[in-house]
């Protein structure tokens, strides 16, 4: 699960008035819709983790509830409403994420039950709250984090809300993988796709945010064009070390034989017994690396070198799914080593 860092407007590059780096197009679309009074009732904001989906959702919510909006329109980021959104405690905004709350009396805390999906009970809560008029702003906003992790029944329930939404409701679905959503859900949302930025552009943005040139370049390269990822590593250098190590492992294993892959699976599985969070973070990097290959295969990559994609779309997609499945199997307490070995076997090999 990704946690988007709070990025102040002044902190990002000058590309757009909302200060969401690399999202100029999406911001322009939303600004036009707000000004023209034709904002959709549901948006699907898709793109890799750390690319700015959460920040874009927050800026949209702030623009809609700001007490003193700037022309554009853009949020002032200083009023009470803007600050409440930034802090995650605005009364009319509800975030729905894996492990979140529901209304079902018999349900234990989903944060403690290793949920790997958004549950139908969480969507039922959304339905109920959506029918209540907003308290302080013109819209009641639901931010569905990792909408690509909706349980099938939960997705069908959500569909009902998206079909006949109350006029005061705005649903923002954030997804790493827009393709993983039900086509019926996707077709009821307007999609805004965020992509990683070229390394040079991200380097410049980090320098503008106060990083030294060398550090900025190293972070931008390691973050592969994701502003949020680069800022997180800047704040916590241990993340950069983890990322470097895992990336080296992934690169090495793309050409490694069966034995080497199984050795790695054994290491990862035994680490899972001791350090669950760190192992999940490692798997998240695996998934991200393969998602980048998928973007490159689809011709939408951020490669600065102009090298051709290394994998076909089908290969990269299979790899993304393999990593996702390993993650789920681990969380469901199946045999950890088997789960990672299966993943290793499902990844394409290059001689």
Q: How far is the CB of 186 from Zn ion (least distance, A)?
A: 25
For Zn ion, the closer CB: 83 or 271:
83
Q: Hey, is 93 helix, strand or coil?
A: strand
Contact call for residues 178 and 148 (beta carbons, < 8 A): yes
Q: How far is the CB of 122 from Zn ion (least distance, A)?
A: 6
Cα 55 versus chain centre, distance: 10
Q: How far is the CB of 66 from Zn ion (least distance, A)?
A: 3
For Zn ion, the closer CB: 83 or 321:
83
Count of residues binding Zn ion (CB under 5 A)? 9
For Zn ion, the closer CB: 107 or 160:
107
Residue 140-179 contact track with Zn ion, rule CB under 5 A, x = bound:
----------------------------------------
Strands of the sheet containing 169-175, edge to edge, are: 93-96, 140-144, 169-175, 42-46, 190-193
Residue 98-137 contact track with Zn ion, rule CB under 5 A, x = bound:
----x-x--x-------------x----------------
Q: How far is the CB of 104 from Zn ion (least distance, A)?
A: 4
Contact call for residues 227 and 7 (beta carbons, < 8 A): yes
For Zn ion, the closer CB: 98 or 240:
98
What is the total residue count of the chain?
Answer: 351
User: How many other CB atoms are found less than 10 A from the CB of residue 332?
Assistant: 10
First-residue to last-residue Cα distance in the chain: 33
Q: How far is the CB of 63 from Zn ion (least distance, A)?
A: 8
C-alpha 253/C-alpha 117 separation (Å) is 29
DSSP of 193-231: E--PPPHHHHHHHHHHTT--HHHHHHHHHHHTT-HHHHH
C-alpha 124/C-alpha 146 separation (Å) is 17
Q: How far is the CB of 94 from Zn ion (least distance, A)?
A: 15
| Residue 70 near Zn ion by CB under 5 A | no
| 70-78, 182-190, 198-206, 252-260 -> range binding Zn ion (CB under 5 A) | 70-78
C-alpha 30/C-alpha 28 separation (Å) is 5
C-alpha 297/C-alpha 114 separation (Å) is 33
Residues 47-66 that bind Zn ion (CB under 5 A): 66
| Residue 82 near Zn ion by CB under 5 A | yes
Residues that bind Zn ion (CB under 5 A): 66, 75-76, 79, 82, 102, 104, 107, 121
């Amino acid at each position: 699960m990704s946690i988007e860092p709070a990025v102040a407007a002044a902190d990002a590059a000058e590309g757009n008035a909302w200060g969401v780096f690399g999202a100029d197009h999406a911001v322009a679309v939303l600004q036009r819709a707000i000004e023209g009074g034709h904002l959709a009732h549901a948006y699907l904001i898709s793109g890799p983790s750390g690319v700015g989906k959460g920040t874009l959702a927050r800026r949209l919510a702030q623009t809609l509830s700001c007490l003193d909006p700037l022309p554009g329109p853009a949020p002032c980021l200083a009023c009470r409403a803007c600050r409440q959104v930034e802090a995650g405690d605005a009364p009319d905004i509800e975030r729905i994420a894996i492990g979140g709350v529901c209304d079902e009396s018999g349900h234990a805390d989903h944060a403690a039950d290793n949920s790997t999906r958004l549950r139908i009970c969480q969507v039922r809560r959304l339905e109920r709250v959506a029918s209540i008029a907003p308290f302080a702003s013109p819209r009641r906003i639901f931010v569905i984090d990792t909408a690509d992790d909706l349980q099938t029944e939960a997705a069908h329930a959500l569909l009902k809300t998206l079909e006949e939404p109350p006029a005061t409701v705005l649903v923002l679905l954030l997804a790493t993988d827009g393709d993983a959503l039900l086509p019926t859900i996707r077709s009821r949302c307007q999609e805004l796709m965020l992509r990683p930025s070229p390394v040079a552009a991200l380097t410049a943005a980090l320098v503008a945010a106060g990083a030294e040139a060398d550090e900025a370049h190293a972070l931008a390269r390691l973050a592969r064009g994701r502003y949020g990822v680069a800022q997180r590593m800047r704040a916590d250098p241990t993340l950069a070390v983890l990322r470097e190590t895992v990336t080296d492992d992934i690169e090495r294993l793309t050409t490694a034989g069966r034995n080497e892959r199984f050795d790695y699976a054994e290491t990862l599985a035994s680490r899972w017994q001791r350090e669950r969070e760190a192992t999940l973070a490692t798997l998240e990097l695996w998934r991200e690396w393969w998602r980048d290959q998928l973007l490159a295969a689809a011709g939408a990559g951020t490669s600065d070198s102009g090298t051709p994609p290394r994998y076909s779309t089908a290969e990269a997609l299979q790899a993304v799914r393999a990593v996702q499945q390993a993650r789920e199997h681990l969380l469901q307490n199946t045999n950890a080593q088997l789960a990672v070995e299966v993943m290793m076997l499902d990844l394409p090999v290059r001689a």
